[in-house]
Structure 1
Amino acid sequence: MEDPALLRRFHAWLQPVPSPQDTARLAFFQDAVIVLDTNVLLSLYEYTAESREEVLAALGQVSGRLWMPYQVGLEFVRGRRSVLESRKRVLGDASKSVNAKLAAARNAIIEAKDTVRAQLQKYARVPADIAALDQLVSVAAVDEHLGLYRDVFKAHLDMLKSGHDLTPVNVDTADPILPRVADLYEDRVGLQPDDQLLQRRLDEAVAFRFPNQIPPGFKDFDKGTPLKAAGDFLIWEEVIEQAALLPEGSRRVLFVSNDVKEDWYDVSNGKQRPWPALLDEIQRRAGAELRLETPPDFYAGVRMYLNANLADDTYEEIRRVSETFTPPTLDDDGTVVTTRTAGNLVPPGDLPVVAYRSAGLTSPAVRGTMESPTPAERLVQWWLIGVTAQLHRREATEREPRVDIVAAVRGGDAPAPDWKRGTALPSGEWIHRESSWIAPWFLDLLGSAPPVDRGILSALASQQAAENQRPTS
């Protein structure tokens, strides 16, 4: 007997949350068409050489079932260099940050010695003790001790650099990954949509689906141009079109992506499951079944069901790289960005660069910080976004979240134990030095900024501190 209409119509919504243990999973690894999202392919440029070889070998075991949407191919070919440039910039920034922190530690130790020395001189007047302190905590002694730490940190960062055999130059001259990926797919790459079809899809995404939060891709609505915003939807349309061409009875699509935003997954009721609307749509339009998996789950499945040779270390690297591609994103529900949450929130579109320009900043070093995808740089990005709006250097957009981050405060006690007195900066650069506190991350930013931008950043932080003056305790 056929199920009642209510159960048939909403079948996708009534299914249990998929898991790596459910029995339906095996069929997808046995005969489904496998679609790797752009971020999965770009991850190949993030892996160490040994792990990359194992991953490519694992993909070789399913290569006959791999299919690439045209949009994925376009994003992959265009995005390869940026991945390598990003890693190069992140490691370079890490070196600068380490040097800045060690310099700050050096100054703090010398200042602490000078404080003790002054008290000995004022109250004890014991020349022998002062001389012993000067010898024990001399500049040379401090530099020698910190030099040991500097060498250790440098060795680890150099090891990270040497562990990756690819540089941006590789992409321009002899990219070793691109031909390997091309061989995996052979002719199984989607055709470029004509201009009329592309326009119809963009109009549908921007005018209908995104305003109504119909998955996928509605969280990308603010990426600048309609073409950038609709990338996920364009991939989705190609997937449905390809699924409809599969033989009846075996129309299964396994879609692998690092993207776990709420325009792919329903996170209500404390659970994360692929949007039933996606499963329902591909069934209605193509008569196909759909399964979404992240790269860690997918490669674990390839290892489990197809006996792929993936070492535990390789799998752990897959998991780590996957996490760097899946940062939490902002909800448009009145989210307030704070110092605690900034590192886990990705600024929308090119907003950090817009803030950079509106502030009058010009140096490539600070521009690199604004464009960095790493969580460590997001605090600076969000601060600049917030302070430029607060000081009316630019107009905040309608969907821009409120930012509650300050780089400095005046009056009262230090907001946190690691904040520094304003005396940490020269008197000509910072006013109210005795009555202000400066965030350590902002001192790091100033330490890495060239003079052309250092003055602008200091002025922004000082003006913000004046507008947010704290009561004196």
Structure 2
Amino acid sequence: MDGPDGEYPLIRQYRDWIQNSPSEDGPEREQFFRQGTVVLDTNVLLSLYEYTPVAREQVMGALRSVQHRLWLPHQVGLEFVQNRHRIIIGRKKALEDASKALQKKLGEARTAIVDARKLVQDLLIKYAQDATAKEALESEISDEAVRALHGEWSKALGNHVQRLKEYDLAISSVNRGDPVLSQVAALFGDKIAEPPDPAELRRRVDEASSYRFPNRIPPGFADEGKGTPLSSSGDFLLWEETIGHMADSPERSHLLFVSNDTKDDWYQPAGNGLSSRPWPSLASELRTRTAAELRIETPGEFYRGVNRFLDAEIADETYAEIDRAAKHLVEVVISEQEAVHVQPGQELIAAAFDAAVLDESLLDNINDAASRLLFTWWLIGVTAQLGRRPRFDDEPDVAVAPATRSAIQPAPTWLPGRRLHLGEWPYRSSSWIAPWFAQTVTSASRHDRQILQQLAARQLDFERTDDQ
């Protein structure tokens, strides 16, 4: 029973809790890079869309140095292909918003310059009766000169934005010619997990929602209540898949997991003299169930480790892009499945109704709670998408459709476009209407229903343009 500290059962059993944080140096870290199974979280793959072409190629080169040890869980692959569309669309929208914001700010600057000149001219007359100086200012800072400067600056700044729009990820990349998708597919090859058995998937979701999340057992408990039980269990499903993969072979003795996610359902918060670190219980659980050791690193830590131990060439500028993408990549999307379970904040609701020039009393006409939530989330999403209002910080993207232009009925409950009012809905013969939207429009006043149908029609036009 006695022996060196490392041999005492108490110290051996709870060693993950006793050590402060994994060492950045030493042979144990190098072993993970040279021998470990490497699993990349979804956010690491989606970040590839955020890099410049040069940085992306360097990152892909670093990943190829561990290619023979990469493994892709089904949950990661599914989330990656589901969310890449949002990232590419988001890039396009950000640049479109930049163009609009640029013109707005330049217009405000032009007005401010003219107003400033007029202010000084008024002061010259009021306090000095100096008409000569007033006329000189009129000549030096004339309306024509301000317009000329405005045009030059607008062209110079606009050219930069336009070049960014023509960057390597065009909107057409969503459906064809996506350079990131093809490179990721080649990177993993056949090292991809099969979808889990439906019965096993249900068991895992039940375990997450009924036991682990209420007891705040990592990973993923911070996502409890965000959408359906299935969608909120993504992190735990990834964890279970990975444990199963590691347990399948005794040769898999080290797991290096790379993720942007440092929330408190993956990382133990700092306190009591300890710095923030991956939850020790994760390493203990992996070792107990698979006899493998665990190391969790952020993308910045991981790529610096690849550079250090495997001689990958990554420039300092690329590390800056990696760190920036890790901070700004947002993965929250409210789909129809999530919308009926998630209540948006009151400030967000109020902003959406104000932007649409609608009164919140419109919600009183929607009897069904699920339909009310679907409508509310749609209004939040469409007012942001069409530029009717600025987005809130950390506001989720919304994927709730009130209508679609299609020859095929998308679901049995959807209604033909002719159910909407003649002269108000432009696609009566070529669209299908979601039942909750039809109910809302039918029960609304003429003024409100015209606004709603105009928003839905503009959204259809906007998205058809995106897909071309």
TM-score normalised per structure 1: 0.69
Aligned residue among 179, 192, 195 for 1:192: 195
Are 2:263 and 1:238 aligned?
Answer: no
**Residues 20 and 275 in structure 2, CA contact (< 8 A), matched pair in contact too:** no
**Residues 259 and 325 in structure 1, CA contact (< 8 A), matched pair in contact too:** no
Q: Which position in structure 2 is the counterpart of 1:337?
A: none
> Which runs of structure 2 are paired with 1:296-307 in the superposition (5 Å)?
296-307=300-311
Q: Which position in structure 2 is the counterpart of 1:378?
A: 392
Deviation for aligned residue 1:135:
1.9
Unpaired segments of 5 or more residues in structure 1?
328-347, 383-451, 454-473
Note the aligned Cα RMSD (angstroms).
3.2
Are 2:67 and 1:63 aligned?
Answer: yes
Deviation for aligned residue 1:307:
1.4
**Residues 34 and 67 in structure 1, CA contact (< 8 A), matched pair in contact too:** yes
Deviation for aligned residue 1:354:
5.1
In the alignment, the residues of structure 1 paired with residue 96 and residue 286 of structure 2 have an alpha-carbon distance, to the nearest angstrom, of: 45
Q: Which position in structure 1 is the counterpart of 2:84?
A: 80
Q: Residue 84 and residue 209 in structure 1: after superposition, are their counterparts in 2 closer, same or farther (change >3 A)? A: same
Give the aligned residue type for 1:252.
H
In the alignment, the residues of structure 1 paired with residue 155 and residue 181 of structure 2 have an alpha-carbon distance, to the nearest angstrom, of: 36
> Which runs of structure 2 are paired with 1:4-153 in the superposition (5 Å)?
4-153=8-157
Deviation for aligned residue 1:364:
7.3
Give the aligned residue type for 1:149.
W
**Residues 256 and 296 in structure 2, CA contact (< 8 A), matched pair in contact too:** yes
In the alignment, the residues of structure 2 paired with residue 7 and residue 370 of structure 1 have an alpha-carbon distance, to the nearest angstrom, of: 58
Deviation for aligned residue 1:381:
5.5
> Which runs of structure 2 are paired with 1:44-443 in the superposition (5 Å)?
44-162=48-166, 164-247=167-250, 250-269=252-271, 271-325=275-329, 359=354, 361=356, 366-368=383-385, 377-379=391-393
Q: Residue 289 and residue 173 in structure 1: after superposition, are their counterparts in 2 closer, same or farther (change >3 A)? A: same
Give the aligned residue type for 2:327.
E
User: Residues 278-329 of structure 1: CA distance to partner in whole angstroms, max 9, x if unpaired?
Assistant: 11111112221111111111111111111123233333322322232379xx
Give the aligned residue type for 1:89.
K
Give the aligned residue type for 2:392.
R
In the alignment, the residues of structure 2 paired with residue 102 and residue 287 of structure 1 have an alpha-carbon distance, to the nearest angstrom, of: 62
In the alignment, the residues of structure 2 paired with residue 167 and residue 213 of structure 1 have an alpha-carbon distance, to the nearest angstrom, of: 42
Instruction: Tell me the secondary structure at the aligned position of residue 248 of structure 2.
Output: coil
In the alignment, the residues of structure 2 paired with residue 123 and residue 357 of structure 1 have an alpha-carbon distance, to the nearest angstrom, of: 48
**Residues 369 and 381 in structure 1, CA contact (< 8 A), matched pair in contact too:** no
In the alignment, the residues of structure 2 paired with residue 369 and residue 277 of structure 1 have an alpha-carbon distance, to the nearest angstrom, of: 45
In the alignment, the residues of structure 2 paired with residue 58 and residue 130 of structure 1 have an alpha-carbon distance, to the nearest angstrom, of: 65
In the alignment, the residues of structure 1 paired with residue 206 and residue 388 of structure 2 have an alpha-carbon distance, to the nearest angstrom, of: 29
Q: Residue 221 and residue 370 in structure 1: after superposition, are their counterparts in 2 closer, same or farther (change >3 A)? A: farther
Q: Which position in structure 1 is the counterpart of 2:410?
A: none
**Residues 356 and 367 in structure 1, CA contact (< 8 A), matched pair in contact too:** no
User: Residues 154-176 of structure 1: CA distance to partner in whole angstroms, max 9, x if unpaired?
Assistant: 243334334x3012311202223
TM-score normalised per structure 2: 0.70
**Overall identity of the aligned pairs, in %:** 42
Q: Residue 70 and residue 353 in structure 1: after superposition, are their counterparts in 2 closer, same or farther (change >3 A)? A: farther
Unpaired segments of 5 or more residues in structure 2?
332-341, 357-378, 397-450, 453-468
Deviation for aligned residue 1:64:
1.3
In the alignment, the residues of structure 1 paired with residue 349 and residue 231 of structure 2 have an alpha-carbon distance, to the nearest angstrom, of: 17
**Residues 348 and 380 in structure 2, CA contact (< 8 A), matched pair in contact too:** no
Q: Which position in structure 1 is the counterpart of 2:430?
A: none
In the alignment, the residues of structure 2 paired with residue 174 and residue 349 of structure 1 have an alpha-carbon distance, to the nearest angstrom, of: 37
Instruction: Tell me the secondary structure at the aligned position of residue 378 of structure 1.
Output: coil
Q: Which position in structure 2 is the counterpart of 1:429?
A: none
